[in-house]
Amino acid sequence: MKNMLRTTAAMFVILVVGLSLVVDPFMPFHAYWLFTLPLCLLVAVSVWWTTAGRERPLRLKLLSLAALLVFSMRYWDFNSRKPFLRRFNGLEKGDTKEEVLQHMEGYRYGQGKGFIFARTKRRHPEVADRVENMCFTHTREGWGDSDWGIVYFVDGKLWDTQFSHD
């Protein structure tokens, strides 16, 4: 019974990892640390639990290999969306326009307003009239031409970001 439970758990984790890879070209969850790190932990715990009873050095090797494999998925670029998101997510509040432009160098940019802009006027009327925005995109191809990374500045400093998926 215990072995069947371990096998089922391992198969479930393999299914989750496999599904994340199938979905990754369209919705690159691995570009976000909040997805990759918990998945890495889940895989590590699963490997450690399913290899119980084996020699410790073998378990550590399998655990390291599995964790490294899942961690590396963050850098498997199936298209230009994931590198764009990694770069975009690296922007920090308080960055100046020049720093944002330098950080996002190589990507197209222009003007565009997202849903945060309307929300800003309601929630933060004290800054609503000082909000400026800039829009970045990573491709002109139809599959991702409306992926927008929108940055909002207040008084020349990065205030908020929003990614609008195609």
82-117 pLDDT, tens digit each? 999 999 999 999 999 999 999 999 998 887 665 656
Q: What is the DSSP letter of 48?
A: H
| Same domain, residue pair 104 and 62 | no
How far is the C-alpha of 68 from the C-alpha of 62, rounded, in Å?
10
Judgement on whether residues 94 and 67 belong to the same structural domain of the protein: no
Helix, strand, coil % over all residues of the chain, rounded to 5: 55, 15, 30
Q: How confident is the model at residue 139 (pLDDT cuts 50, 70, 90)?
A: confident
User: How far is it, in rounded angstroms, from Cα 62 to Cα 56?
Assistant: 10
How many domains is the chain built from?
A: 2
- Best CA proximity match to 19, nearest among 10, 9, 29: 29
Above pLDDT 70, what percent of the chain? Answer: 93
d(CA 25, CA 18): 13
Residues 150 and 107 in one domain: yes
Domain boundary pick from 50, 75, 100: 75
**22 & 87 share domain:** no
> What range does the domain containing 61 cover?
2-75
Looking at the structure, tell me whether residues 49 and 85 fall in a common domain.
Answer: no
Q: Considering the entire predicted model, what is its pTM?
A: 0.80
Query: Which amino acid is present at 19?
Result: L
Q: Taking the CA of residue 78 as centre, how many other CA atoms within 13 Å lie in the half-sphere pointing to its CB?
A: 16
Residues 79/25, Cβ–Cβ less than 8 Å = yes
Same-domain status, 93 and 151: yes
One domain for residues 71 and 93:
no
The mean of the pLDDT values for the chain is 87
Q: 122, 27, 17: which is closest to 73 by C-alpha?
A: 17
Question: Is the C-alpha dihedral spanning 106, 37, 20, 52 positive or negative?
Answer: positive
